[in-house]
Chain A
Amino acid sequence: MPKRVLIADDEEDVKDVMQMFLEGEGYEVETAYDGLDALDRVRTFQPDVILLDIMMPVVDGIQVCRKLKSDEKTKHIPVIMVSAAAKREKEGEAYDAGAAAYVLKPFQPEELVRVVERCLAGRPKG
């Protein structure tokens, strides 16, 4: 049974290309267009890993991550922050919120896949 990945990003094109190559790698992918939508879909879709953009409307990625990590039902799901915000600005905040990894946009698609695989194996840092 394929592993499930939830992608939350308000940038339509970014979300589309990520979905396409993760599906190409054999994952089952669902997308959310903002933070609130992401929280809803975590409940219905029950992903194995979540890719969160940070700067999203309504509820930003950091807040979504905090909410997921404070909920018994979702705290075990690894969260990967995928953001165009410079690492020095947001990385610390992301890890403090409980993120397992931080991927800076633009990224090598293979690199994203490697991070997803490591998180699923429980070794986010490699």
Chain B
Amino acid sequence: MIRAKPSEAPFDGFRGCRARGYPRGRRLTALNATSDQAFAALFARMGTVLAAAENLEDFYASSVELIGETLQVDGCSILLLDPEDQLLKVKASTSIPFAEWKTIRIRLGEGIAGKVAQSGRLLWSSDVEAIVGPREGAARRSRYKDPSFISVPVRLQGEVVGVINADSKRDGSKFSRFDVDQMEALAGLFSTVLATSRLLEERSRANRYFDSILQSIPMGVMAFNNALRLTQCNRAAADFLSFDVNLIAGAPANVVLPDPIRHRVLEMIVDLKTTGVPTCCEVEYAPRRGGPTVPLGLSAWALRDRDGSPSGVILVIEDLTLRREITELRQSSALKNHFLSLISHELRTPMTSIKGAVHLLMETRGMKSPPAQQRILDIIDRNVMRLAALVDDLLEVQLIETQKVELEREPVDIEGLVRECLESRRPLWHDKQVETHLEVRDGALGELRLDRDRIRHVFIHLIDNAFKFCSPGGKIEIRIDVGPKGLETRISNTGSPIPAKSRDQIFQKFYQVESTMTRQIGGSGLGLYLARELARLHGGDVLLERSDEEWTTFLARLPRDESQEDSRGAGT
């Protein structure tokens, strides 16, 4: 842009108002009443036209039409200076065909417009040749009825940014001074509106930019004012909560927010307003009725003015699916590491006994007494079996997880099976000097058709668990009963109760209650998991029924009716 420097523009055709003795401040007052009314009407029309313009291009087009109409001229054009190359370019014209706009590039000082832009002063003349020379004058004469023109500079904050040209009165008359005044007034109005429009355009560009940021955030964002009416929201929010983003600006929060979420959000907002602390919660929500639910994290934040006073609430909605998956993966990875550490311990312990026992036999070369030798051989046998059982458990876990368990049902006498399991496990725990007791409430239990080997494992795991956690010198009681849902076997032991926080997790595989009370007791962490899964494959279940200072009781329930078989088992 260039500064208007009058001293550098000594054109003989110069016809500025001031030069003609009309100081700007007095110009309007110098006009007659009719002129005043015309100006007022013009301003009003200009205001209407500009208000209707949706963008700057519209505004330019409306302006040339309005000026053309007002001055009754054949042509009106607006040329603005391109700040990049300092060339005047056509922005709107009533006489120049649109296709030619792009071809017109006027340097400062060149032609009428270039001279006006460079000097910053209007040009008004009917003696065209005196200003632009005979060639341009001839061209104008061939184009217009009359070659006279008014060309006024457009200023923004004192700098010339363009030129408005009016060419040739329609009736062939010369431009009057009133025309010049009108033209100057219109140019002034145009400048003012242009400044405002550019400001608005900039603001609107900034708004669009912020809106694009808001819309691109992968989280739902909703802003409510103090009256809890929606003032702003993005598409993600509309997607998460399944409402139409275009229909609800200004709608109250309790209308916009869907039913299951509404009261949670309103509670959060109340909390936020009373405590001033951002609040959050998690909800399961189905965006489509009857469709799958999505875990959503909602948080409410205070919205504040520049001066810090509360102006509303921001609600942020986040899809927690991915985050949950990551947490699950981390947990599963941690569980795997835990499993490896447990299994290595479980393998090393019997290997230690076997290695020690073999060493003893080799060292003494049969010199030990037969009972001593038998004791050593028993150690080897027991620990080899323990290793084999561990391998079996691991394979069984794999079968359960891949849903490849095939039950081989046969008639099983539960009382006999439980008694056999108890007797087989008791010697392994003789050190603890536990008193055991088996009671059958109903003598006529009959036989159930079960996979004998797998149900044996259910009881062995539960009995081992009872021995493991029984206090030394304590008691184990087993009761078999007929319940409403089938056969119920309760296995109870004395000893410390299972910590409340662990009760939900004890049936997870590889889980061991983390406390000095229990971890050292060893085990693969598979016992309760397998007991429950194997019972469930039969349509039964294993539950923790009681755990207090007195007793810890596990209930194994087995249905009498095969039809309740769990769908996961491909029973035969």
Contacts and interface: CB of A to CB of B under 8 A. Distances in A.
B387 to A, nearest CB: 12
Contact of B518 (A11, A14, A57): A57
Contacts of B379: 13, 16-17
A81 to B, nearest CB: 13
A105 B431 contact: no
B351 A55 contact: no
A108 B197 CA distance: 91
Nearest to B347: A84
A39 interface: no
B521 interface: yes
A84 B354 CA distance: 14
A57 B521 contact: yes
Contacts of A59: 516
B356 A21 contact: yes
B539 to A, nearest CB: 36
A45 B344 CA distance: 33
B134 interface: no
Interface residues of B, number: 32
B431 A107 contact: no
Contact of B520 (A18, A60, A106): A60
Interface stretch (B11-19, B254-262, B289-297, B357-365): B357-365
B364 to A, nearest CB: 8
Interface string A29-50: 0000111000000000000000
Given A24-B360, A24-B363, A86-B344, A17 B353 contact: yes
B352 A10 contact: no
A92 interface: no
A11 B520 CA distance: 10
Contacts of A34: 520
Nearest to B345: A84
Given A11-B349, A13-B383, A33 B472 contact: yes
Given A13-B382, A106-B352, A33 B520 contact: no
Given A11-B353, A54-B520, A109-B356, A84 B348 contact: yes
Interface string B332-373: 000000000100110011111111110110011000000000
B363 A21 contact: yes
B517 interface: yes
A84 B359 CA distance: 18
Interface in A1-34: 10-14, 16-18, 20-21, 24, 33-34
A109 B359 contact: yes
B431 A86 contact: no
B3 interface: no
Looking at chain A, what size class is its interface with the partner chain?
A: 20 to 34
B517 A57 contact: yes
A12 B355 CA distance: 14
Nearest to A85: B345
A35 B517 CA distance: 10
A121 interface: no
Contacts of B360: 17, 20-21, 24, 109
A10 to B, nearest CB: 6
B288 interface: no
Contacts of A13: 350, 353, 357, 379, 382-383
Interface in A70-125: 84-86, 89, 104-109
B359 A21 contact: yes
Contacts of B534: none
Contacts of B143: none
Contacts of B354: 106
Contacts of A85: 341, 345
Nearest to A37: B472
A57 B515 CA distance: 9
Contacts of B353: 11, 13-14, 16-17
Most chain B CB within a 10 A radius of its CB, from A24, A106, A108? A106
A58 B349 contact: no
B522 interface: yes
B352 A84 contact: yes
B376 interface: yes
B256 to A, nearest CB: 54
Contacts of B355: 106-109
A39 B353 CA distance: 24
Nearest to A17: B356
B520 A14 contact: no
A14 B521 contact: no
Contacts of A14: 349, 352-353, 356
A110 B446 CA distance: 56
B531 to A, nearest CB: 21
B267 to A, nearest CB: 46
Interface in B354-404: 354-357, 359-360, 363-364, 375-376, 379, 382-383
B365 to A, nearest CB: 12
Given A14-B356, A24-B363, A84 B349 contact: yes
B263 interface: no
Contact of A55 (B345, B359, B376): B345
Contact of A106 (B348, B428, B472, B521): B348
A24 B372 CA distance: 13
Most chain B CB within a 10 A radius of its CB, from A20, A24, A34, A59? A20
B349 A56 contact: no
Interface of A: 10-14, 16-18, 20-21, 24, 33-35, 53-60, 63, 84-86, 89, 104-109
14 contacts: A10-B521, A11-B352, A16-B379, A17-B376, A18-B356, A20-B360, A21-B359, A55-B520, A59-B516, A63-B516, A86-B344, A105-B351, A106-B354, A109-B355
Given A13-B353, A109-B360, 15 more contacts: A13-B350, A16-B375, A17-B360, A35-B516, A55-B519, A55-B521, A55-B522, A57-B517, A60-B520, A63-B516, A84-B344, A84-B345, A106-B352, A106-B355, A107-B352
Nearest 4 Cβ contacts at the A-B interface: A17-B356, A55-B520, A84-B348, A13-B353
